[in-house]
């Protein structure tokens, strides 16, 4: 993947500006809290020296009604190119109401435009109605150790935010133990890792376990612990 493609929305977005639905607003305290944790750890952010300076990382949570049909499992997600904001409010989010990987379209409403990873989030929610949260971060120490950590990984040739990535997520889940939740790496998306689960806390805990395992492995190899942004 070219770093210059980072952060670019690759789907057709049908977006309506407006306030977030009340059901989405109710989810924001916990969602924003996890986003803040990932920002502090460097999994969400923006760095002029990385990814051609584009913001990276995004978070989402399911909005009812449940269970919801595939392609219409609404979720509130952080907006495109909001990764570099240290603090966020409701203006940094939107609700994706429908998504269609085959047609490469996303239908959303809210004060922000949807994350460029929205099709990938939708593909994860389509794994089952029990999936209620998705956290996408960039973590070089995890991504470089994905094979050693035995992380399920999408093919290297599949780029982020594309219909091919959405299909790859489904294929990966069906061929591994991912259907109930967990963490996978994005082989064609430099440093990209995704965690999901039945709640934000479950997804966050799974992601943190993998980060700790990767850092412990790195320390064992080098005898030194590095900044999370390295």
Instruction: Convert the pLDDT of each residue in 93-106 to its tens digit.
Output: 999 999 999 999 99
Please state the φ and ψ torsions of residue 78, each to the nearest 5 degrees. Answer: -65, 145
User: What was the pLDDT predicted at 113?
Assistant: 94
User: What was the pLDDT predicted at 120?
Assistant: 94
User: What was the pLDDT predicted at 227?
Assistant: 67
Greatest mean pLDDT among 51-55, 74-78, 115-119, 161-165 lies in 74-78
Confidence bin at 229 (pLDDT 50/70/90): low
Question: What is the set of domains in the chain, with CATH numbers?
Answer: 3-222 (3.40.225.10)
Q: How confident is the model over 122-151, as a mean pLDDT?
A: 95
Q: How confident is the model over 18-37, as a mean pLDDT?
A: 97
Q: How confident is the model over 105-120, as a mean pLDDT?
A: 94
User: Locate tokens 């064609």: which residue?
Assistant: 188
User: What was the pLDDT predicted at 3?
Assistant: 40
Q: What pLDDT digit, counting tens, does each position of 169-198 carry? A: 989 988 887 877 799 999 999 999 999 999
User: What was the pLDDT predicted at 205?
Assistant: 97
Average pLDDT, the chain: 91
Nearest Cα neighbor of 200 from 36, 87, 73 is 36
Q: How confident is the model over 6-13, as a mean pLDDT?
A: 73
User: What was the pLDDT predicted at 53?
Assistant: 85
């Amino acid at each position: 993947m070219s770093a210059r493609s980072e952060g670019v929305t690759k789907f057709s977005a049908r977006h309506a500006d407006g306030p977030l639905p009340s059901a989405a607003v109710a989810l924001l305290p916990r969602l924003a809290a996890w986003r803040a944790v990932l920002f502090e750890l460097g999994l969400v952010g923006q760095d002029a020296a990385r990814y051609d300076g584009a913001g990276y990382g995004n978070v989402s949570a399911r909005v009812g009604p449940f269970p919801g049909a595939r392609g219409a499992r609404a979720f509130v997600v952080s907006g495109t190119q909001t990764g570099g904001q240290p603090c966020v409010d409701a203006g940094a989010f939107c609700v994706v109401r429908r998504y269609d990987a085959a047609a490469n379209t996303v239908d959303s409403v809210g004060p922000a435009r949807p994350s460029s990873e929205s099709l990938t989030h939708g593909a994860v929610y389509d794994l089952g109605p029990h999936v209620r949260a998705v956290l996408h971060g960039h973590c070089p120490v995890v991504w470089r150790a994905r094979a050693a950590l035995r992380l399920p990984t999408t093919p290297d040739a599949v780029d982020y935010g594309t219909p091919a990535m959405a299909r790859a997520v489904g294929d990966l889940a069906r061929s591994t133990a991912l259907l109930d939740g967990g963490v996978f790496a994005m082989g064609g998306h430099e440093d990209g890792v995704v965690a999901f689960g039945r709640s934000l806390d479950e997804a966050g805990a799974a992601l943190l376990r993998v980060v700790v395992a990767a850092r412990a492995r790195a320390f064992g190899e080098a005898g030194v612990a590095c900044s999370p942004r390295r």
